[in-house]
Amino acid sequence: MAITASMVKELRERTGSGMMECKKALVETNGDIEAAIEMMRKSGQAKAAKKSGRTAAEGIIVIKYSDDAKKAAMVEVNCETDFVAKDENFTSFANAVAERALNSDVDTVEALLEQPLHDGEETTINTAREALIAKIGENMSVRRFQRFSTDGGMLASYQHGIRIGVVVELEGGDESLGKDIAMHVAASNPVCVSEEQVPADMLEKERDIFKTQALESGKPENIVDKIIDGRVRKYLAEITLVGQAFVKDPDQTVGKLLSGANAKVTGFSRFEVGEGIEKKVENFADEVAAQAAAAGN
């Protein structure tokens, strides 16, 4: 059967694959578009499986808002290199994933992957991910997402390039203050909003460390407790949002900034690309030596 340009065009539109790959699939299936799609899906799944063990620690953070700005979603989508993280096909996929995360009610990445990438389409996020892996040649993953909503307050966000994203839930204040707070969170990475939210085990661990340090320095035991209390206060100021010095004006704390604006932060979330992912350390000297040895055999 003759493969026409219109058949190739239709297959490209339905799969997002390259022209030559579509033409080859149509030739192999004798012009059967549905069979070509199935074959290309299987090929994409096989390629994705081969690349699934490769570390994907680069990528992009995307934040999407609802039309009324009362809801938002933030997602991290990973790839292997920063070059691909800026690729138009990859960023388009990541934006579509964020849009779907915003408009669905699923609460796990696994469930999100089974959602349609776009409204009215059968292609799921995972199928599109596998196809993109086959097309670009890098492992990719939807790592995490989080939704936010507010009734009487406001949502503010800040993105530092494509690598860091922050969403802040705020009561009172205005858009400018919200963006400033989100920018501060991006720069200073607080653990939580206030002292009351610091995990008890984290605080106890720090107390033990401070006590050991004080005793080993030869301080008298009768003043060790005072030393520990002072260090704990300093530690809490360093890790809580309201206790930190405001990044744009270090002479005042974020807490004082909020108080002056009669505002309150009820929550925040900060995503940074690749945080917590153990990256493979490449030893290029060993790699070149190994290639040279193989070439000599």
pLDDT digits (tens, 9 = 90+) for 128-148: 998 998 888 888 999 999 999
Distance CA 78, CA 165 (A): 14
Model confidence at 221: pLDDT above 80: no
**∠ at Cα 164 (163, 168), nearest 5°?**
155
User: What amino acid is encoded at 241 in this protein?
Assistant: L
Structure tokens at 63: 């934040």
List the domains of the chain with CATH numbers.
Answer: 5-51 (1.10.8.10), 52-149 (3.30.479.20), 195-260 (1.10.286.20)
pLDDT at 16 > cutoff 90: no
Residue 125 confidence (pLDDT) above 90: yes
What is the three-class DSSP state of 162?
coil
Average confidence (pLDDT) over 163-185: 97
**What confidence tens digit (pLDDT) does each residue in 62-111 have?**
999 999 999 999 999 999 999 999 999 999 999 999 999 999 999 999 99
pLDDT band of 291, cuts 50, 70, 90: low
Q: Which two tokens stand for residue 92?
A: 């388009």
Q: What is the pTM of this model?
A: 0.75
Instruction: Name the nearest CA neighbour of 98 among 227, 271, 259, 218.
Output: 271
| Side-chain-side CA neighbours of residue 118 (13 Å) | 7
